[in-house]
Amino acid sequence: MSAPASAHVTPLRRFLWVLAALLALLALSAGSALLKLGAFNTVLNLGISVAKTLLVMAVFMHETEARKLTRLASALGFVWLAMLIALTLLDFLTRLHVPAPW
Amino acid sequence: MAVLLISSTAIALGVRALKLGQRRAAMALLTLTAALGLTFLVMHGFEYYREYGEHLVPGLDFSQPGATAAAVELFFCLYYFITGFHSLHVLIGVVIILVLARQVARGAYGAQRFTTPELTALYWHLVDIVWIFVYPALYLIGRSG
């Protein structure tokens, strides 16, 4: 964030483009549930989620307007979160699937 | 759900209006954001109510037929923890944004003073991002095939 005196104002059009893109991606991800892609449904949905997140971070959260150091610090927070989620999922995804005995 | 995506845009536009010194527009956009957040919560309420009717709430009223009942119960435990905590964050956001809208109306913020609204917007975007991942993870998984 810049000093208040030199407030940077994002152009209105950019916000509206991002909104349109977010809604299009949402429709794509909801629509993809109708396709039978096996494991790739999940891959596709996560890919779309990452794309939406990058849009929100880049424009709504002003990452593209920030200084490089600010961008780095902010991106690291999300990378750290992704690592925690990935490590949590590692436990779940690498377990053997044992059907319930009853 | 598109409600949170639109509300994220609304608060971004609200902070933008504030930076341009358009206080009334900022107030309206902040109120719209809070209203969309509330809409999200009400929709979740209906969803929970319907699931309660279908005996899908572990701990309160859970009974499902068939061999997959234990797995269904596990899923719904996770589902209520994740959506419940997310909804709690949405509720916190709605309260903060309403307080902020009131302060904007009183002239506490403007083109020279907008760090608090900007930080509130960052929080709201984060809540939105969490939903961007929760939605496919809980609502779309296993829908195909």
Which two tokens mark A75?
Answer: 């991106």
User: Residue B89: is it exposed, middle or buried by C-beta count within 10 angstroms (0-12/13-18/19+)?
Assistant: middle
CA A89 – CA A68 distance, rounded (Å)? 31
Contact A47, B23 (CB under 8 A): no
The domain of A26 spans 4-93
Question: How far, in Å, CA of A21 to CA of B97, rounded?
Answer: 25
Assess if residue A100 is contained within a domain. Answer: no
B111 backbone dihedrals φ, ψ, rounded to 5°? -60, -25
- pTM for the full model? 0.85
Here the tokens at position B119 are: 């930080």
Chain A residue numbers touching B5 (CB-CB < 8 A): 19, 22-23, 26, 52
Which amino acid does the sequence have at B25? A
Whole-number Å distance between alpha carbons of B102 and B90: 18
- In terms of pLDDT, which residue wins out, A50 or B64? A50
- Given CB atoms, is A87 within the 8 Å cutoff of chain B? no
Q: How confident is the model at residue B37 (pLDDT cuts 50, 70, 90)?
A: very high
Structurally, chain A folds into a number of domains equal to 1
Question: pLDDT digits over B54-80, tens only?
Answer: 888 888 888 877 777 888 888 888 899
Residue A23 has pLDDT above 80, yes or no: yes
Match 């845009």 to its residue by tokens.
B9
Looking at domain B2-140, which of 1.20.5.50, 1.20.120.80, 1.20.140.10, 1.10.3720.10 is its CATH number?
Answer: 1.20.120.80
Cβ contacts (< 8 Å) between A41 and chain B: which residues?
Answer: 140-141, 143-145
User: What band does B14 get if pLDDT is binned at 50, 70 and 90?
Assistant: very high
